[in-house]
Structure 1
Amino acid sequence: MNLPAAALHAYDQLVTDLDVGLYAPGSRLPGERALSSSLHVSRATLRVALSALEAEGRLQRSAQRGWYVPTNVIGEPPSTLQSFTEMARARGLRPTTKVLQQVSRPATLEEADRLHVAPTSPVIQIDRLRGMEGTPVCYDVVVIPEQRAPGIATADLTDASLYETLQERCGVAIYRSAYTVMAAVADTTLARLLGTSVGAAILVGDEIAYTADGTPVLLGTNKYRGDAYRFEADLFRRV
Structure 2
Amino acid sequence: MRASFASEQTYRQLTDALQRGVYGPGARLPAERTLAAQYGVSRETLRNALNRLADEHLVESVVGSGWFVAPEVVGEPPSVLQTFTEMARARGLRPTAHVLRRRVRTATLPEADQLRIPPGADVLDLVRLRGMERTTICLDETVMPLDLAAPLQDADLEDRSLYEELETRCDVRVHRSVYSVRAEVADTYLAAQLGVTAGWPVLVGEEVGYTDAGRPVLVGATRYRGDAYRFQADLFRPV
Q: Secondary structure at the match of 2:85?
A: helix
- Equivalent residue of 2:148, what SS? coil
Cα offset for 1:65? 2.1
Residue in structure 2 matched with residue 134 of structure 1 by the alignment: 134
Instruction: Give the distance between the partners of 2:38 and 2:71, measured in 1 at CA.
Output: 24
Q: Which residue of 1 aligns with 2:189?
A: 189
Gaps of 5+ in 1: none
Q: 1:79 to 1:138 in 2, by over 3 A?
A: same
Higher alpha-carbon deviation: 75-84 or 58-67: 58-67
Distance 1:47 1:134, change over 3 A: closer
Comparing 22-31 with 86-95, greater Cα deviation is found at 22-31
How many pairs align? 237
Alpha-carbon contact 1:95-1:134 (below 8 Å) kept: no
Deviation for aligned residue 1:238: 1.8
Q: Show the 5 A alignment for 1:64-213.
A: 64-213=64-213
The alignment's TM-score, normalised by the length of structure 1, stands at 0.95
Q: Tell me which residue corresponds to 2:59.
A: 59
Q: Is the 8 A contact 2:25 2:135 kept in 1?
A: no
Mapped partners of 1:237, 1:14: distance in 2 = 45
CA, structure 1 residues 43+13, in 2 after alignment: closer, same or farther (shift >3 Å)?
same
Calculate percent identity across the aligned residue pairs: 52
Q: 1:24: Cα distance to partner?
A: 1.3
Q: Aligned letter for 1:62?
A: V
CA displacement at 1:103 relative to structure 2: 1.2
Mapped contact 2:112–2:120 kept (Cα < 8 A): yes
Task: Pick which of 124-133 and 39-48 moved more.
Answer: 39-48
- Which of structure 1's runs of 4+ aligned residues deviate more than 2 A? none
Partners of 1:4 and 1:134 lie apart in 2 by 36
Residue 148 of structure 1: CA displacement?
A: 2.2
Local SS of the residue matching 1:144: strand
Q: Distance in 1 between matches of 2:105 and 2:42?
A: 60
Unaligned runs of 5+ in 2: none
The alignment partner of 1:4 has SS state of helix
Give how far 1:31 is off: 1.9
Shift of 1:150: 2.4
Q: Give the letter aligned to residue 23 of structure 1.
A: Y
